Amino acid sequence: MTIRTEHFEGDGLAADTWVPHYLPHWSSRERSRASYDVSGSVLRLHIPVEQGLWCPERHTPALRTSTIASGLYAGPRGSTVGQQPFAEGLTVTEEQDPFRGWLLAGGRLTVRARADLSARSMVSVWLTGFEDEPERCGEVCVFEVFGDTVTADSAGVGAGVHAFRDPALREDFSVTTLPLDLREWHDFSVEMGPGGCSWSVDGRVLRTSEQCPTYPLQLFVGVFDFPDRDDGTLGDHVPSFEVDLIEHVGA
């Protein structure tokens, strides 16, 4: 058994583990840079009012994000090779050095987190293939929560598998409303193995799937804001996502 734990010690991200950018090859390092701080062994991702759009010329709807990743892979500028393309025919706008910070396969991943969202924001932790081979692109969503599902004592928690361009997988994703206060700490877990995946929240099984990617997966941890969803009532709310612990227990 192997155990790797991220406690977010010190006052910054571990440079050998994390890239503080969200898919910069489709945007740029500047526009994809996460707003965050690390203090008291807690990572806090947030989106201040003045933060600009992630990829304004290419991504619809308008999107702002503070996301960190444990891997990064894309081809040269002008190529179509890059992780998580969001539209057909995308080309790399800014070349990136490959980065393999934390890749994992199988085992149990647990994330202790809490969030403060508005109706136009969301948070997510997900795993995807490194995509150095295009078909190795499947996703295991550990959890995601959209702010418009959140009340004082409940939240819609999404989890499952996204196939994308992996022919061995199929879409298998669902959202379950749970009695929890998202502003409090909760443990979100996924168990991955040859027989599939099993998700839990605070130790209680959320859902299962009979499938799971078999190749190494990298981590994404992010908070997102969709400005076009604002109805004029949200003011200057700053969505935030705090993570106290990420732990992987492997075979």
What CATH number is given to the structural domain containing 165?
Answer: 2.60.120.200
Is the pLDDT assigned to residue 208 strictly greater than 90?
A: yes
The pLDDT score that the predictor gives to residue 145 is: 98
The tens digit of pLDDT for each residue in 38-53 reads 999 999 999 999 999 9
The tens digit of pLDDT for each residue in 67-119 reads 999 999 999 999 999 999 999 999 999 999 999 999 999 999 999 999 999 99
Query: Which residues constitute the domain of residue 133?
Result: 2-6+12-250
Domain count, the chain: 1
Q: What is the DSSP string of the chain?
A: -EEEEE---TTS--TTT-B-BSSTTTS-TTTTBPEEEEETTEEEEE--TT---SSTTT-SS--EEEEEESEE-B-STT-S-BSS--STT---SS----EES-EE-SEEEEEEEEEE--TTEEEEEEEEE--SSTT---EEEEEEEEGGG--SS-EEEEEEEE-TT-TT---EEEEEEES--TTS-EEEEEEEETTEEEEEETTEEEEEES----S-EEEEEEEEE-GGG--S-STT---EEEEEEEEEEE-
